[in-house]
Amino acid sequence: MANIRAINAWNAGATGAGITVGVIDSGIHFTQPDLAGRISAASTDVVSGRSTPDGPDDHGTLVSGVIAAGFNGFGTIGVAYESTIVSIRSDTAGECDDDPEEDVCFGTSNLIRAIDYAIAANVKVVNMSLGGEGPMGTAFEAALQRAVNAGIVFAISAGNEGAEATGGNPEYPGRYASDPRFAGAIIVVGAHNSSDVMAGFSNRAGVSANNYLSGPGVDVITGCDGTSCFRVNGTSFSSPAVAGALALLLQAFPNLTGRQAVEILLTTAREAGAAGTDAVYGRGLLDLVQAFQPVGSTQVGTLSGQSVSVTRERFSYTGGAFGDAFRNSGGALDTVGHDTFDRLFRVDLAGSYGMAPRGVANMLPRAPRQQARLMVEGPLGSTLTLTTGAAVQDSPWDLAESTNVITPWLDERRREDMMVEFSAGRGAAAFWQGRNGARSPFELGAADNFASLAQVDRAWLGAVKIGAVTLTADTGVGDRAMPFQAREEDVSSYARFVADWRTSSTSRLRFAVGGLDEKMGPLGSYAPLDSGFALPSTTTFGSVGGQFALRPNLFLNAEMGWARTDLSGRFLSLSETAISSTWALGLTTFCKQLGFGCESLTWSISQPLRTESGVFSAYLADSPAGYFDELTFSERTFSAAPSGRQIDMSLGSVHRLGDGSALSLRGMVTRDDQNVRASPTTFTLMGSWGKTF
């Protein structure tokens, strides 16, 4: 049970209750304690004139125990421990023509009667732990076809002749799994040990690889009577594990046909041997964890009739301003969805939004860059400048090496950019283009943290100076790329207007207003447009800040910003507008005169962007009381504000060395990291050295 991870199915509520499993074998001991209450009164003996369903042999009882041994406080537990066994005895010792010493053999005529009895008894699954070398004739194949047409599915043992048996193929009737007439209704089952290694005695997948699974068949414990148990080996005891797994699926997901249950087990098998389907392990090892997970894309219905596709391969991130708001939604986004097989699953849509990567970008030194610049002087004092740049190859500080913690949706190629600038008199204009995550150089000292959320690849800037005031307008557009995913083009943009007023040579005041248009999600969020999780949003922002000389040797830097965000996604919207804030306060002194051995000393405290208020709203399907009940929808709401408030405090210094180089040191303490209350306080110490020449 541990090897096939049956407990995961049990925890999901699957027990096999209400499912009848036919065991075509050597009969069953009706008094076997571990099968008490699990044996159907319809159990029979199909051999003419014998009428002894409880035969002297233990084989059928041991096989049945693997399927349905009760959860009764002793012995073992069957895979489908509340299923019902219809034992169909069909063995006849006198028909062991090829090996007279065999105690239990199965003649074709009796197996035909057994299959027809299974059809009449309306069983869902049949286990056949038996086999031989050759095809079983047209009459048997006709009976098998009748059963398949009636919706019955089979688990059949592959045989115990080992790797060399019949050319490395399963025995019959298991090999009928690869016959086009029955394909999809039969799983032929090999055996592996507790280390997931194919048992030496087990027939391999061979020609039946596409319909072959391996189940645990070494040292299997079954047939317990309260004081002792049997320890058995063979594909006879791996096959009923698959039969029990089919029963669990059919009970847990009553919309499934038998063929669909077979396909699910084959599709979700645990990888073993060579990658993919191979001639030894076939599709792999029976795995109920995977079988009870959604297969393919899970479609979650919405009140509008549109669906949201949930897969394990796609992902979304919320912007850092929201912190753990989705994690703390309190089940507001719990709903139901259907996978590729139309199976009903509970789905937590909140879990599809990951928290933003940790904001370590501000802790890293600027990546070393190589630059080339061409400047041409024009008439009337005008200047045209072309600048190209790229991150230094193999630099340990290339942000490409850190994308997994900063912006994992960016690839790891080298950052490159170029800029064209034109200036004449009091005016200037510039165009910049970057790729692979290169950062826009248009940092104006006002609302930079808002503009940077767009992560643009192309930006334009125009500026004009009027007296002591410089007016600047800039805008940019960004694409998003994820390794191995299609590039999302023009999904984010910003526009900003800044007024920079220099009150003196050392003091200035800046005002900025602007807007963000983000198709994937608000405030730097990332959600693929075709996933259904995208949250198209618009944000207006404003900020005020500046630098002020408190003394000739002491300067105050301060900024405060606000943002207002509205969004509407396929299933999620803001019923109350989200209001966000950010602020920073710093003091800088030129400290040579203070005797600290430094050129400058800076202390700062800041709050990164944080959502202060707002309410998310979604209309989602409620979990139905019955599997086939019509879905009803209800409104769910939760706060857009995170549980904590991140505060960063830092102290930095610049030291000029004797050779003309400079050493920069910076220490940072962060409280409520990622805006999560009670996050461990983090400490960071950084240093960098550089020299210009």
* Residues acting as catalytic residues: 25, 59, 236
Dihedral sign, Cα of residue 128, residue 130, residue 136, residue 139 = negative
Choose among 657, 653, 647, 656: nearest CA to 667.
Answer: 653
What is the DSSP secondary-structure string of 280-298?
Answer: TTBT-B--HHHHTSPPSPE
Tell me the C-alpha distance between 522 and 567, whole Å: 7
Beta sheet of 186-192, edge-to-edge order: 44-45, 84-89, 20-25, 125-128, 153-157, 186-192, 212-216
With beta carbons less than 8 A apart as the criterion, state whether 274 and 200 touch.
no
Choose among 669, 665, 666, 689: nearest CA to 680.
Answer: 669
SS3 126: strand
Residue with tokens 């038998």: 258
Dihedral sign, Cα of residue 47, residue 49, residue 53, residue 59 = negative
**Alpha carbon separation from 623 to 295, 347, 633 (Å, rounded):** 20, 10, 9
Asked if the peptide bond before residue 173 counts as cis, ω within 30 degrees of 0, the response is yes
Q: In which element (H, E) is residue 109 found?
A: helix 108-120
What's the half-sphere exposure (Cβ side, CA atoms, 13 Å) at 381?
5
Residues 6+ apart with CB under 8 A from 496: 444, 447, 450, 451, 473, 474, 475, 512, 513, 514
With beta carbons less than 8 A apart as the criterion, state whether 580 and 611 touch.
yes
Choose among 216, 290, 212, 309: nearest CA to 249.
Answer: 290
Tell me the C-alpha distance between 166 and 161, whole Å: 8
Tell me the C-alpha distance between 279 and 540, whole Å: 61
Chain CA centroid to CA 217, Å: 32
With beta carbons less than 8 A apart as the criterion, state whether 118 and 24 touch.
yes
Query: What backbone phi and psi angles, to 5 degrees, belong to 49?
Result: 80, 0
Instruction: Dig out the tokens for 459 from the structure.
Output: 């930006």
Tell me the C-alpha distance between 642 and 663, whole Å: 38
Tell me the C-alpha distance between 673 and 360, whole Å: 10
Query: What backbone phi and psi angles, to 5 degrees, belong to 445?
Result: 80, 10
